[in-house]
A and B are shown apart, each in its own frame.
Chain A
C-alpha cells in the first residue's frame, strides 16, 4: 500500500455557540486506506466529517484541511464543490426523499439531461448499472419510502458513490443494518479499497473496526486521543481510549427476579390498515413477566417493529388473537390509550417518531409528561425543568443548555433524549425499539444500567435489538420472530447466537 496522504486535517477547531465541538484536531488519512473514527456521542466525529464534506464551509472553522496536497477551501457552493472534488459522504441521518424513486434519489442534484430535459431512460439505465456494480439488490423504480431502513442505507451509499468519489465518508452506516447487510457493506468497502478509494468509517459497533479498518483514530471531547494502526489496538484498548477509563464489562450485572405474568399476547394476527390484503402479523404469542426484560430478535422485516407498534395501538389492525394486561383482556386504540394503561414505547426512528427537532431539549423531554408537571391546568415550569435536568443527568446527556434545539445535539445524545422522555412516563411496561442505536459504549452501559434498575423496580421491558450480543447480554428470555410469527422463546440460559439465528431464518 502506498503511504501517500490524501487528506490532511491540521489543527482544526470548530465552535458552536456555547460549545467547542472540535479543538485542535489533526488527522492524516492515507490514500486507499479504510480509516476508522470512533469516540463517544458528541465527541465531534460528525462535525469533523461535515467540515470535510463542505457542510461547514471554509472560514467557519479554524485550522486547515489539505486535500491531495492543496488546501481545501470550500466556499460558496461548498457541498457541491466537495462532491466535485471527489469527497462523498453518507450522513448519519438518512437524507433521501421518501416520495421519490431510488433512481430519482441517486441522481438528485445531478440529473442526466438532454436539452434541459431529464432523460429518464438513461437515468434508470445508469442507476441500474451502479446498483449492479455494487451488487445491491434494489430496484431503481422502487419508491424509497417503501424500502426498509437497511435498503435505504444502501441507496444512500450508491448515491454517494455514483460520482467518482476518491474519499468516501460513512457516518454510522451500519447502525440500522442487519448482520447480512453489514457483511455486504464490508464487501463493498473492500472492493472500493482495491480501487484505491479511501474510506472514513464511523461506527459505535467497535467490532467492525477490527474487521475492516487499517487504522483508527479516537476522538474524545473534540480532541484526538490517538491514531494507530488497527493491528496495534484491541477492543479493550479502544474502549478505554474512548471513555477515558477502563471498562471491565459491556453489560452490567443485575439481581432482578422476574415473577408473575403482567402481559400476555395470544396468537395475534394483524393486517396493514392501508393495505388490508397484507398481513403484518401472522400469529404472535408470548408472555411478559413483571420485572423481566424480554428481548425480541429477528431479521429486518421479520415484523418486530410491526408487533410492538401494533401492541401500542399505532399500526396494524388486529384481526384475531388477544392481549391481556394483568389478566384482563385489553383493547388499545391509540398511543394515548396505551400510555394511560401504563405502556410506553421508545420508537425506532428518532427523527421521525421520537423528537420534535425544532423544539428545545427541555420541551422534548417533557412532552409526554406535561400532565405530571401540572397539578392544575397550568404547567409548573420549575418542576418541569427540575425533572428534565435530573433526567439529563441520569442519562449523562451531553448538552450545553437545556433550552437549545434538540437538533443541535449529536446523534447519540438525541437518542438519549428519546429514551429519557419515555422513561419519565414511569410505565409498567416499557417497549424499546432498538434503543441503543447510535449510542456509544459508555452510554450504552448507562442505558443498560437504567434498564436493569427499572426491571428491579418491577417494570417489564420489551427490547427489540438488531445486535445479538445486546439481546443475549440484557434479556431474561429472547423471543425470535420470523416472517411475522413468533418462532420460539428461548430462556437466556439456553440461548446462543446460533440458536437465535436458526430461529430467525426459519431453519429451526
Chain B
C-alpha cells in the first residue's frame, strides 16, 4: 500500500517537473515574481504582504494590465502600439468631461444613468479610434510604429484641447465605483466559490472530452494539483483582500478582460491566425488567412481595451488631467516582454503579460514602501527589466 503511494507521488513530481520544463517561460516568470515578493516582504518586515498593500498593489496594476493584455496580441502580430497610454488618457479626460460638464445639464440628478452613458461613450470612442488606427495600419499600409507614434502626439494635443489645461473632476457616485468600489465581503467569497467550481468543472469536462476522443489524459493527480493550486491562490487572494475592504471591482474587471483575451487568443481561429501571421506572414496568407482584416480587428480590440483602461483610469484617480496615461504604453510593452512575448512577433501569452505587469507593479509598490526615491525606482526597474529578459534568453539558449 505504502509503496504504491510513494510511486504515484513520485510520478506526480516528475509530471510537474515536465510541465515546468515544457512551460519554461511561464514557470520562470512565476518564480521571478515569487522571489520579488519574498524579497520585498522581508525588507518591509511583512508590510508588503499585508492585506492593505496587496489590495493596493492589485488595484495599481489594473490600468497597465488591461493595456498589456491588448498589447500582447498587437506585438504577436508583429506590430506595436505606442499610442495606448495617451489614448487611454484621452478617453479618461473625455469621460471626466462628460461627467463633470455634460450629464448634469442634460440629465440632472441621475448619477447611475450618467455613469452608464459615460462608460458607453468611453467604449465607443475606443472602438471608433481603434477602427481608424487599424484602417490606417492594415489597409493604408502605414507601419504601426509610425501610425501609433503619430497618434500619441495627436492625443497629447487632443487632451490639451479637451481639458484646456485644467483638471476635471470625475469622482461622482456610481462612476467612482468602477475603479474604487469593493464587492461586499460575502459576494467576494461567492465569486471565489463560483470560479473554483468552474475550474473543477472545466478540468473534469476537458478530461472527459479527451477520453471521448481516445487521447491519453494527464495524470489525474497532476490536473488536480494544478486546479487545487489555482484555487488556493484565489482563496488566498480573497481572504487577504477581505481582511481589508474586499475584492476590488477593477481587479475583477481586469481578470475578466484577461480571461476573455486569453481565450480569444488560443481558442478561436481569429487568435490563432494572429499568432500565425506574426510568425510568418506569407505562410499565413497562403493558408487563406485574411491578414488585413485580422490586423484591423486586433487594433479595434486594442482600441476597445484602451477605452476600458481610460474609464478605469478616470474613475480610479477621480479626475481627468493633461498628464493622464503618460508613459503607460511603455509599461504595457515592458509587461508583455517581461511576460515572454517575443518582440519579433509570433509568440506571447496573455497570462505572461499579466504576471509581467504584476511584477512591474510589485517593483513600484515595493520600492515605494521602502521609501526609495523616484530616481532610484526608475533605475532599479530598468535594470530589472533588462536583467530579467537576459535570464530568460540565457535559459532558452541552454535548455
Task: Categorize the interface residue count of chain A.
Answer: 35 or more
Do B284 and A356 have beta carbons less than 8 Å apart?
A: yes
Task: Categorize the interface residue count of chain B.
Answer: 20 to 34
How far, in Å, is A345 (CB) from chain B's closest CB? 6
Given A358-B279, A367-B272, A379-B267 in contact, is the A334-B213 Cβ separation under 8 Å?
no
Do B282 and A353 have beta carbons less than 8 Å apart?
A: yes
How far, in Å, is B202 (CB) from chain A's closest CB? 13
Q: Given B209, B272, B282, which contacts A363 in the complex, CB threshold below 8 Å?
A: B272
Do A314 and B285 have beta carbons less than 8 Å apart?
A: yes
Which chain B residue has the least Cβ–Cβ distance from A401?
A: B22
The stretch among A181-189, A210-218, A368-376, A448-456 that forms the contact with chain B is A368-376
Question: B275 contacts the other chain (Cβ, under 8 Å)?
Answer: yes
Do A356 and B279 have beta carbons less than 8 Å apart?
A: yes
Contacts of A336 in B (CB 8 A): 285, 288-290
Do B269 and A374 have beta carbons less than 8 Å apart?
A: yes
Do A421 and B213 have beta carbons less than 8 Å apart?
A: no
Which chain A residue has the least Cβ–Cβ distance from B346?
A: A358
Which chain B residue has the least Cβ–Cβ distance from A383?
A: B213
> Interface digits, B197-217 against A, CB 8 Å rule (1 contact, 0 not)?
000000000000110111100
Do B268 and A378 have beta carbons less than 8 Å apart?
A: yes
Q: Given A335, A359, A363, A386, which contacts B286 in the complex, CB threshold below 8 Å?
A: A335
Question: B229 contacts the other chain (Cβ, under 8 Å)?
Answer: no
Do A367 and B290 have beta carbons less than 8 Å apart?
A: no
Do B283 and A381 have beta carbons less than 8 Å apart?
A: no
* Complex alpha-carbon distance, A425 and B289, angstroms: 13
Which chain B residue has the least Cβ–Cβ distance from A309?
A: B286
Which chain A residue has the least Cβ–Cβ distance from B287?
A: A368
Contacts of B285 in A (CB 8 A): 314, 334-336
Do B276 and A356 have beta carbons less than 8 Å apart?
A: yes
Question: B347 contacts the other chain (Cβ, under 8 Å)?
Answer: yes
Contacts of B288 in A (CB 8 A): 335-336, 338-340, 368, 425
Q: Given A352, A379, A381, A421, which contacts B287 in the complex, CB threshold below 8 Å?
A: A421
> Interface digits, A491-503 against B, CB 8 Å rule (1 contact, 0 not)?
0000000000000
Question: B86 contacts the other chain (Cβ, under 8 Å)?
Answer: no
Do B283 and A356 have beta carbons less than 8 Å apart?
A: yes
Q: Given A335, A381, A403, which contacts B267 in the complex, CB threshold below 8 Å?
A: A381
Do A374 and B268 have beta carbons less than 8 Å apart?
A: yes
Contacts of B284 in A (CB 8 A): 356, 367
Do B269 and A357 have beta carbons less than 8 Å apart?
A: no
Question: B273 contacts the other chain (Cβ, under 8 Å)?
Answer: yes
* Complex alpha-carbon distance, A417 and B341, angstroms: 26
* Complex alpha-carbon distance, A374 and B284, angstroms: 18
Query: Max chain B CB contacts within 10 Å: which of A356, A368, A370, A425?
Result: A356
Given A356-B279, A381-B267 in contact, is the A347-B272 Cβ separation under 8 Å?
no
Do B286 and A347 have beta carbons less than 8 Å apart?
A: yes
Contacts of A359 in B (CB 8 A): 275-276, 279, 346-347
Contacts of A382 in B (CB 8 A): 209-210, 212-213, 215
Given A335-B287, A370-B273 in contact, is the A355-B280 Cβ separation under 8 Å?
yes
> Interface digits, A332-348 against B, CB 8 Å rule (1 contact, 0 not)?
00111011100001010
Do B286 and A345 have beta carbons less than 8 Å apart?
A: yes
* Complex alpha-carbon distance, A336 and B213, angstroms: 30
Q: Given B22, B272, B283, B342, which contacts A354 in the complex, CB threshold below 8 Å?
A: B283
Do A353 and B347 have beta carbons less than 8 Å apart?
A: no
* Complex alpha-carbon distance, A410 and B279, angstroms: 20
Given A355-B280, A357-B279, A386-B213 in contact, is the A379-B272 Cβ separation under 8 Å?
yes
Which chain B residue has the least Cβ–Cβ distance from A378?
A: B267
Do A352 and B346 have beta carbons less than 8 Å apart?
A: no
Which chain B residue has the least Cβ–Cβ distance from A381?
A: B267
Do B283 and A370 have beta carbons less than 8 Å apart?
A: no
Question: A324 contacts the other chain (Cβ, under 8 Å)?
Answer: no
Contacts of B287 in A (CB 8 A): 335, 367-368, 421
Contacts of B290 in A (CB 8 A): 334, 336
* Complex alpha-carbon distance, A338 and B288, angstroms: 8
Query: Which residues of chain B (230-269) have a CB below 8 Å from chain A?
Result: 267-269
How far, in Å, is A389 (CB) from chain B's closest CB? 9
Do B272 and A357 have beta carbons less than 8 Å apart?
A: no
Question: A385 contacts the other chain (Cβ, under 8 Å)?
Answer: yes
Contacts of B270 in A (CB 8 A): 377
Which chain B residue has the least Cβ–Cβ distance from A356?
A: B279
Given A334-B285, A358-B279, A368-B287 in contact, is the A385-B267 Cβ separation under 8 Å?
no
* Complex alpha-carbon distance, A347 and B287, angstroms: 10
Given A314-B285, A358-B347, A367-B287 in contact, is the A377-B215 Cβ separation under 8 Å?
no
* Complex alpha-carbon distance, A259 and B285, angstroms: 32
* Complex alpha-carbon distance, A421 and B286, angstroms: 11
> Interface digits, B274-301 against A, CB 8 Å rule (1 contact, 0 not)?
0110011011111111100000000000
Contacts of B275 in A (CB 8 A): 356, 359, 363
How far, in Å, is B273 (CB) from chain A's closest CB? 7
How far, in Å, is B234 (CB) from chain A's closest CB? 24
Q: Given B215, B269, B282, which contacts A379 in the complex, CB threshold below 8 Å?
A: B269
Do A367 and B276 have beta carbons less than 8 Å apart?
A: yes
Which chain A residue has the least Cβ–Cβ distance from B264?
A: A377
Contacts of B268 in A (CB 8 A): 374, 377-379
Which chain B residue has the least Cβ–Cβ distance from A380?
A: B209
* Complex alpha-carbon distance, A374 and B268, angstroms: 8
Given A358-B347, A374-B268, A381-B267 in contact, is the A353-B286 Cβ separation under 8 Å?
yes
* Complex alpha-carbon distance, A241 and B128, angstroms: 65
Contacts of B347 in A (CB 8 A): 358-359
Do A385 and B289 have beta carbons less than 8 Å apart?
A: no
Do B346 and A314 have beta carbons less than 8 Å apart?
A: no
Given A352-B282, A356-B280 in contact, is the A371-B209 Cβ separation under 8 Å?
no
> Interface digits, B326-367 against A, CB 8 Å rule (1 contact, 0 not)?
000000000000000010001100000000000000000000
How far, in Å, is B255 (CB) from chain A's closest CB? 20
How far, in Å, is A282 (CB) from chain B's closest CB? 25
Q: Given B22, B283, B289, which contacts A355 in the complex, CB threshold below 8 Å?
A: B283
Which chain A residue has the least Cβ–Cβ distance from B288?
A: A339
> Interface digits, A313-340 against B, CB 8 Å rule (1 contact, 0 not)?
0100000000000000000001110111
* Complex alpha-carbon distance, A382 and B216, angstroms: 11
* Complex alpha-carbon distance, A450 and B125, angstroms: 53
How far, in Å, is A252 (CB) from chain B's closest CB? 28
Which chain A residue has the least Cβ–Cβ distance from B277?
A: A356
* Complex alpha-carbon distance, A319 and B209, angstroms: 53
Contacts of A379 in B (CB 8 A): 267-269, 272
Do A356 and B213 have beta carbons less than 8 Å apart?
A: no
* Complex alpha-carbon distance, A199 and B270, angstroms: 49
Do A371 and B269 have beta carbons less than 8 Å apart?
A: yes
Which chain A residue has the least Cβ–Cβ distance from B213?
A: A382
* Complex alpha-carbon distance, A226 and B14, angstroms: 40
Using A377-B269, A382-B209, A382-B210 as known contacts, list a sample of 20 further A-B pairs with CB atoms less than 8 Å apart, ordered by residue number in A: A334-B285, A336-B285, A352-B283, A355-B280, A356-B275, A356-B279, A357-B279, A359-B347, A367-B284, A368-B287, A368-B288, A370-B269, A370-B272, A371-B269, A378-B267, A382-B215, A383-B213, A386-B214, A386-B215, A421-B287
Q: List 21 A-B contacts (CB under 8 A).
A: A336-B288, A336-B290, A353-B282, A354-B283, A355-B280, A356-B280, A356-B283, A358-B279, A359-B275, A367-B276, A367-B283, A367-B284, A367-B287, A368-B288, A377-B269, A379-B267, A382-B209, A382-B210, A382-B212, A382-B215, A425-B288
Closest 5 CB pairs of A and B: A356-B279, A370-B269, A339-B288, A368-B287, A382-B213
| Chain A residues close to B by CB (< 8 Å) | 312, 314, 334-336, 338-340, 345, 347, 352-359, 363, 366-368, 370-371, 374, 377-379, 381-383, 385-386, 403, 421, 425
